[in-house]
Structure 1
Amino acid sequence: MKISKILICAIVSILVASCTKKISPTKSKEAISQAEQVSLLKEQTEANNPYVIAAKNQLLQFIGSKNFDNYITKHGILNCEGDNNQSSCVLSFYLNEYYKLNYDMKLKKVIEENQAQLDIELSKITATESNIKNYCQSSADFIAAIYTKDTAKINQYFQPKFRMSAQDILSLQTKISKDNYSQFLIEENPSILQEIKVDYVEKCLNNPKDNIINYFNIFR
């Protein structure tokens, strides 16, 4: 009896292993077959059809060549196989996917911009006397750093403090560089820079909204 049971178990094990081996290649063939179907469909619909090619290339720019076939397969390009006008179906598929991705990207950009604006609003500080005084002094120091071309301090300290982009900094530098007279005075007598800063702080305290750099992105 024991020998009989052992033989039965052995036969069952062999049969199970055999079935497993047969199933695996079948799945692999199906996967290869699907890839071939996509390749054939693309070849047939692109033949002498510049519109399909242009639409495909447009979509390709979004997705990239590496994941392109996987993407179009996943999103149903093979549904066009049974269509009476495959070229028209594939063209429509490419265009629909392109416009959908383009819309999603623009929507994402709008959401990100709105979130960035919200973050700015939430991070704004109250225009207390102390904060105004602090930023008036910092604005004067910022302008002095631009006059003296202290690039390291501008980029590492003033840019984040005043919440400015590189383009904002460049615009401010361009504006200040047009003040040739002040630049001349500073070059002739560097100590005059301190007087310029004192004058700027005084002017700023009298009219902070117009003289604190990037005021409306800093204060509520």
Structure 2
Amino acid sequence: MVRVTIYSSGAHYGPLKPAAPLRYDMRNVTNPPRQLRGNMDGRSKKLRDHLMNDKDFLALLETIQNDILREIERLQQLECGKEVRVQVGVGADKEVDTTHEIQQSREIPEQECSKDADSHDKGYLPSDGEDTRDENSTNESQCDSDNENEPTVVVNCFCHLGRHRSASMVEELARLKWPTGTDIEVIHRDIDKDRRSSGKQKRVAKSSRMRGDNGFAED
């Protein structure tokens, strides 16, 4: 399993931290018309449909898709290499352990074996120092460890405010067909932030005599 986490963000609010290995600047793509971006963001199909007719948007979409596919393939190859090495190591350990167990069983006197059998018949309980974990508990621990170490591709698409072009790109990437075993995660860092209202509050706080709103260029 390979996880692909795709962020949208706005350069106005600062860079993504930590920086993503795959970063794409969407600011060269033409902004959607004001009537579309006024009440919509990249989660709106109508806005995305408009951008999907933009040749620059489509070219960048293809570029990002190919870059992600190459990174997924690279991580899968690394994981396959790890699995092969682990399987070989486990097999060798099992062979050594089995031989050791056979040798020990030959050295155990028959009388001691019969005593052990009697102990089990009488409801023998292991001492505190003995390891009573079964195979299932070991496998569950291994699964938890595997989830924590899941290989991840981190992608960041950013525009000016992170609401329209970058958010639309992330949504369209998530809707593409990806290789089996790929888990896509979408995170819109700045999509619900409103720069105009925050800017107005800053101006009022700076000088109570300032009035009016000259407006801001929207993303």
Q: Same-fold call, TM > 0.5?
A: no
Question: Which structure: greater strand fraction?
Answer: 2
TM-score in terms of structure 1 length? 0.29
Structure number with greater CO (CA < 8 Å, separation at least 6) is 2
Instruction: Answer with 1 or 2: which has the greater Rg.
Output: 1
